[in-house]
Chains A and B, each alone.
Chain A
């Protein structure tokens, strides 16, 4: 092991956590929800398994469960962490508080003692910003131009493009390479942006996660270690209100909206100029929080911060940024998050049933859920009679599979916490692609069932390959959904229909005039506005109709469905009404194919 070379300053802060967990009598390695729950058993797998994969290697080594890394860098992180543990055991345990910690600590203390200091701190901080303001006056006039360029940021350019690529540092200044790259080889978009620059501040939607002590944990853009001062201010603002037994929820400033979600030791903040409502942004923060829980479980999260309020959680989450990034991007593109439901592949009911039956045949008492998914859409899902799977949990599963390209290359076994199912413990997911775009997930509560589930997969694959079922499935997936022309309703441009009974939604593919990502974003924005108005907590609506310059949008909610439909700007209200009814009739006819109406149970 390259002991010395790994003792880079970036990695050294790892040691305190090891110390903490070792010194704890309920040590990580013996507790039920260990920090790295699969540490021991998985090491065993790697020895037993004939062809250990990258994914497995990583799981063994890293307490951080996931990575989208290339093989080389995961080995590196494996080494790094083993190294940490050794140094921990050897007694080299003194935490080395960086200067940032000191500053923040100092700031915290001051903010708790005299409020005047907050003011002073904020003023000094603000004065620095004032200069920015002046230079920004010029850029503001370019708003229109920027707007377009910016919309790419939230558009659906997949992160995956970046994930698999080997790390090449494009920055002339190597010191800017973030800690993530060092770990995993994952290179973030905009990762090197200077938080003082207008490029950084002008992103349409920022997400920040920080600890209640003000330590940065995650930022969607830029580098966490360079936004400490902002996180300090957020922490100060939050604690100001907390001192008077109040909770800050939202700040409005021009086009910008700042939304706060306080979850015990974690503060989550969205800074957005996307016109999304407070409730919608808070929902998104909840998804991000759940993503963190899926990596750590709430038990661990709370325990870590109970032991050390000032803990730097990045040490545990290192390598998981791709999942948070991917989630952040998906939430801006996919209605499923907003609707709190998931999308199914539209396919022949018989085919779906056949697949379901095959999966059902591998009855195993180790199996909790089994599902077949493709590109964030569900093909079929098997569940125990007593447990359904919450859409929020399903989104996490989708995000996991989607967030890393390594699942495509081999069988994987990974712990995952599904917070709506149980936020205190891990489940274990067997993930394997059985065809190019078809991913099989088998979820077990037992961490030792890798081989059993791998066996089950073999049976499923074998059966599904017979009788052309897989072929039919792939053919269906190749068609990629249905277009609005298939629906055959005059005047209708696009729609989203959510079945409230099945908690699933369906939506046609985008055709003219929504071919490029910007246009889709604009349409999605319109849906989002209607959705927000209709779901107002105190003044919910049954119908919301509005005519804009390029679209007319109808929102219609009943006890069994939610419909969001887009028409041309000049459609008459009677035409719109009759078209909507025609659409509903079509959906009723197609219901069995559009939705999983009866999901098979164990």
Chain B
């Protein structure tokens, strides 16, 4: 049998996605009350929906017979993949994905053309889907609180609304075929710091804490890399969810700043045409940052994002329905006032207009963003009200050049709760930071420059990803040639050379192929499954080597695309890579 004519590849797509709780509809009549949220590719009649969640429960019950503690996680069928996730007791997130397939026309034995369809089950990784659902729930919970809390405080109806708001558009933009290892691992990139730089950062945050003592935690980001993760009030898990939320905002703001720079430079133009600008926005929504992450060396932040897709920076996050709009005033007034765009404050999350008199801004207009963070285990109480084990915090974020600073203020702080509604508080922070961040930016630029010089040569030969399971820190060069983010060279002065560049990517010649990406996922799943394995070397049928190796509690994945290399030679290569990258000061910040 030989191929005849072209083959058509149809990508994976969402069949349906739902959230249900069997306890809400125990009888046959009330069964439909179980359903909290449902969305499908096609319009689906209620009885089909009921059938689907009925099957889901049947599968869970059946598998519980044999595996009582871990019932059905996923079902592989010829054409579909079902996945189940129970983030809170009895609340189930359930998704069905239609597998991608290839349609080929071949000649059968008699020479007659015949259409065959091949479903690509093994290109959809269960670990990737699982992470995607976890991330989805994690972000939902961060900004909306746990499902059960909502039900107890405002009722089932409110929960349904929140779910609808959060998931509605998002789910359709998942790109299931682009789940690679980095998305599955979904770690956080850190900027490695020298010890002197770290001291300076610490003194900066200490000073800031003493100035505003009701602020309980500060996080600092340089571009998309975490510099300082604060006092651990926010866990590693929550940090990555928070970052998935922040990245699109940062990228959006960067783009906006470029536009303003352009506008400044164009003398002929009297005012900025916002119409044009907004047209370039792709109809903002939350899923923008799930479908293509904006700016990062870890472009895989979202389960669905395409690392090769970064040329188009997702923007317009402010329109995202699920999360309360962080800076509504970014939508410029239609007035031709040239100052209008420039009036945007440095707050990424917070009031956008700090100008005007004290009474210029109505205090009720300041709607602070609240996030829900898990209580630390020591603080857990049996108190009825705290049964959900979350604490509420106000979230505030300040961005200047390539630096973004995040503040957390506990709801429990009386002073904080008062200040957060007071415009003068924002002005004071703004003034304080404008004067203090200059040094910070310079330090971090140096640090970034220092790390960049190392290893550009060796990156041409290999691609790697290093992951620390405890801190969720990740360091990766897998998709390094696709990076686009504002150049840090623009930094020291507020100059107009903020650009989206490719200058970080001299590493042509080695692209991670689909097969490599899938093999990396296979390898990752194996290492997760078999903790006793210390290292795996594989050579594929197309002759590239992939290595997974545990080093001091971390896992290193390396792609060595050398066709002729032997096992011993590849080992030598990996050794070189380790000594170059992962020894000495560079890893300091990593742990």
Residues of A within 8 A of B (CB): 115-116, 118-123, 125-127, 129-130, 132-133, 136-137, 140, 201, 206, 230, 233-234, 236-237, 240-241, 245-256, 258, 271, 273, 275, 278, 529, 533, 536-550, 573-574, 576-577
Q: Is B110 an interface residue (CB 8 A)?
A: no
Instruction: List, in ascending order, chain B residues with CB within 8 A of A540's CB.
Output: 540-541
Q: Is B469 an interface residue (CB 8 A)?
A: no
Smallest CB gap from B54: residue in A: A119
Which of A116, A201, A577 lies in contact with B66, CB distance below 8 A? A201
Is the beta-carbon distance between B55 and A119 smaller than 8 angstroms? yes
Smallest CB gap from A202: residue in B: B66
CA A106 to CA B405, docked complex, whole Å: 65
CA A466 to CA B30, docked complex, whole Å: 84
Is the beta-carbon distance between B69 and A118 smaller than 8 angstroms? no
Is the beta-carbon distance between A546 and B566 smaller than 8 angstroms? no
Q: How far is the CB of A142 from chain B (nearest CB, A)?
A: 13
Is the beta-carbon distance between A136 and B58 smaller than 8 angstroms? no
Is the beta-carbon distance between A541 and B538 smaller than 8 angstroms? yes
Smallest CB gap from B50: residue in A: A116
Q: Is B154 an interface residue (CB 8 A)?
A: no
- Asked if A252 meets B515 with Cβ closer than 8 Å, knowing A122-B57, A140-B69, A547-B533, the reply is no
> Which residues of B from 522 to 549 have beta carbons under 8 Å from A?
522, 526, 529-530, 532-541, 543
Smallest CB gap from A549: residue in B: B532
Smallest CB gap from B529: residue in A: A275
Is the beta-carbon distance between A541 and B539 smaller than 8 angstroms? yes
Which of A116, A133, A546 lies in contact with B68, CB distance below 8 A? A133
Is the beta-carbon distance between B567 and A545 smaller than 8 angstroms? yes
Q: How far is the CB of B536 from chain A (nearest CB, A)?
A: 4
CA A546 to CA B65, docked complex, whole Å: 34
Q: Which of B118-126, B175-183, B265-273, B578-586 contacts A (4 or more CB under 8 A)?
A: B118-126
Q: How far is the CB of B133 from chain A (nearest CB, A)?
A: 15
CA A116 to CA B47, docked complex, whole Å: 8
Which of B58, B62, B77 lies in contact with A119, CB distance below 8 A? B58
Is the beta-carbon distance between A130 and B28 smaller than 8 angstroms? no
Q: How far is the CB of A136 from chain B (nearest CB, A)?
A: 4
Smallest CB gap from A127: residue in B: B61
Instruction: List, in ascending order, chain B residues with CB within 8 A of A547's CB.
Output: 533-535
Q: How far is the CB of B307 from chain A (nearest CB, A)?
A: 20
Is the beta-carbon distance between B61 and A116 smaller than 8 angstroms? no
Q: How far is the CB of B455 from chain A (nearest CB, A)?
A: 24
Is the beta-carbon distance between B73 and A125 smaller than 8 angstroms? no
Q: Is B74 an interface residue (CB 8 A)?
A: yes
Shortest 6 CB-CB contacts between residues of A and residues of B = A126-B61, A119-B54, A254-B70, A122-B58, A115-B51, A543-B539
Is the beta-carbon distance between A253 and B72 smaller than 8 angstroms? yes
CA A258 to CA B31, docked complex, whole Å: 28
Instruction: List, in ascending order, chain B residues with CB within 8 A of A233's CB.
Output: 58, 62
Q: Is B10 an interface residue (CB 8 A)?
A: no
Q: Is B78 an interface residue (CB 8 A)?
A: yes
Q: Is B225 an interface residue (CB 8 A)?
A: no
Smallest CB gap from B518: residue in A: A539
CA A538 to CA B28, docked complex, whole Å: 44
Smallest CB gap from B515: residue in A: A539
Interface size grouping (class) on chain B = 35 or more
Q: Is B114 an interface residue (CB 8 A)?
A: no
- Asked if A254 meets B67 with Cβ closer than 8 Å, knowing A537-B122, A539-B519, A548-B534, the reply is yes
Q: How far is the CB of B34 from chain A (nearest CB, A)?
A: 10
- Asked if A256 meets B77 with Cβ closer than 8 Å, knowing A119-B54, A119-B57, A545-B537, the reply is no
- Asked if A573 meets B515 with Cβ closer than 8 Å, knowing A132-B68, A252-B126, A543-B537, the reply is no
Which of A132, A230, A246, A542 lies in contact with B80, CB distance below 8 A? A246
- Give the interface centre of B61, B529, B540, B541 by most chain A CB atoms within 10 Å: B61
- Asked if A201 meets B55 with Cβ closer than 8 Å, knowing A251-B72, A544-B536, the reply is no
Instruction: List, in ascending order, chain B residues with CB within 8 A of A275's CB.
Output: 529
A-B contact count (CB 8 A): 198
Is the beta-carbon distance between A247 and B60 smaller than 8 angstroms? no
Instruction: List, in ascending order, chain B residues with CB within 8 A of A576's CB.
Output: 567
Q: How far is the CB of A434 from chain B (nearest CB, A)?
A: 44
Q: List 23 A-B contacts (CB under 8 A).
A: A119-B31, A119-B50, A119-B53, A119-B54, A123-B57, A123-B58, A125-B61, A237-B55, A240-B58, A249-B77, A253-B66, A254-B69, A254-B71, A536-B122, A539-B541, A541-B539, A541-B540, A543-B539, A544-B539, A545-B536, A548-B530, A550-B532, A573-B571
Which of A133, A246, A542 lies in contact with B64, CB distance below 8 A? A133
Q: Is B59 an interface residue (CB 8 A)?
A: yes
CA A37 to CA B11, docked complex, whole Å: 52
Q: How far is the CB of A222 from chain B (nearest CB, A)?
A: 13
Is the beta-carbon distance between B77 and A247 smaller than 8 angstroms? yes
Q: Is B75 an interface residue (CB 8 A)?
A: yes
- Asked if A543 meets B530 with Cβ closer than 8 Å, knowing A119-B54, A240-B55, the reply is no
- Asked if A573 meets B567 with Cβ closer than 8 Å, knowing A126-B57, A548-B530, the reply is yes
CA A573 to CA B74, docked complex, whole Å: 38
Q: How far is the CB of B23 from chain A (nearest CB, A)?
A: 12
Q: How far is the CB of B46 from chain A (nearest CB, A)?
A: 11
Given contacts A249-B121, A253-B67, A539-B519, 13 further A-B contacts (CB under 8 A): A115-B55, A116-B47, A118-B54, A119-B53, A126-B64, A136-B69, A251-B72, A254-B69, A539-B518, A539-B522, A539-B540, A542-B540, A543-B537
Q: Is B63 an interface residue (CB 8 A)?
A: yes
Give B176-205 as 1s and 0s: 1 = Cβ < 8 Å from A's Cβ atoms: 000000000000000000000000000000
CA A121 to CA B123, docked complex, whole Å: 34
> Which residues of B from 260 to 313 have beta carbons under 8 Å from A?
none
Smallest CB gap from B72: residue in A: A253
CA A256 to CA B77, docked complex, whole Å: 17
Is the beta-carbon distance between A237 and B535 smaller than 8 angstroms? no
Is the beta-carbon distance between B543 and A542 smaller than 8 angstroms? yes
Smallest CB gap from A206: residue in B: B66
- Give the interface centre of A126, A130, A248, A544 by most chain B CB atoms within 10 Å: A126
> Which residues of B from 3 to 59 have beta carbons under 8 Å from A?
22, 28, 31, 47, 50-51, 53-55, 57-59
CA A254 to CA B539, docked complex, whole Å: 29
Q: How far is the CB of B177 from chain A (nearest CB, A)?
A: 14
Q: Is B568 an interface residue (CB 8 A)?
A: yes
Is the beta-carbon distance between A543 and B538 smaller than 8 angstroms? yes
Is the beta-carbon distance between A271 and B539 smaller than 8 angstroms? no
Is the beta-carbon distance between A255 and B70 smaller than 8 angstroms? yes
Which of A116, A245, A248, A529 lies in contact with B28, CB distance below 8 A? A116
CA A496 to CA B107, docked complex, whole Å: 39
- Asked if A116 meets B51 with Cβ closer than 8 Å, knowing A126-B57, A546-B536, A576-B567, the reply is yes
Is the beta-carbon distance between A248 and B122 smaller than 8 angstroms? no
CA A539 to CA B519, docked complex, whole Å: 7
CA A544 to CA B47, docked complex, whole Å: 49
Instruction: List, in ascending order, chain A residues with CB within 8 A of B157's CB.
Output: none
CA A246 to CA B126, docked complex, whole Å: 19
Is the beta-carbon distance between A533 and B538 smaller than 8 angstroms? yes
Instruction: List, in ascending order, chain A residues with CB within 8 A of B566's CB.
Output: 577
Q: Is B419 an interface residue (CB 8 A)?
A: no
Is the beta-carbon distance between B64 and A251 smaller than 8 angstroms? no
Smallest CB gap from A259: residue in B: B76
CA A254 to CA B73, docked complex, whole Å: 7
- Asked if A251 meets B68 with Cβ closer than 8 Å, knowing A118-B55, A533-B522, the reply is no
Instruction: List, in ascending order, chain A residues with CB within 8 A of B567's CB.
Output: 543, 545, 573, 576-577
- Asked if A137 meets B535 with Cβ closer than 8 Å, knowing A119-B54, A256-B63, the reply is no
Q: Is B207 an interface residue (CB 8 A)?
A: no
Which of A249, A256, A546 lies in contact with B537, CB distance below 8 A? A546
Instruction: List, in ascending order, chain A residues with CB within 8 A of B76's CB.
Output: 248-252, 278
Q: How far is the CB of A123 from chain B (nearest CB, A)?
A: 6
CA A258 to CA B64, docked complex, whole Å: 12
- Give the interface centre of B47, B63, B80 by most chain A CB atoms within 10 Å: B63
CA A119 to CA B568, docked complex, whole Å: 56
Instruction: List, in ascending order, chain B residues with CB within 8 A of A119's CB.
Output: 31, 50-51, 53-55, 57-58
Is the beta-carbon distance between A533 and B532 smaller than 8 angstroms? no
Smallest CB gap from B58: residue in A: A122
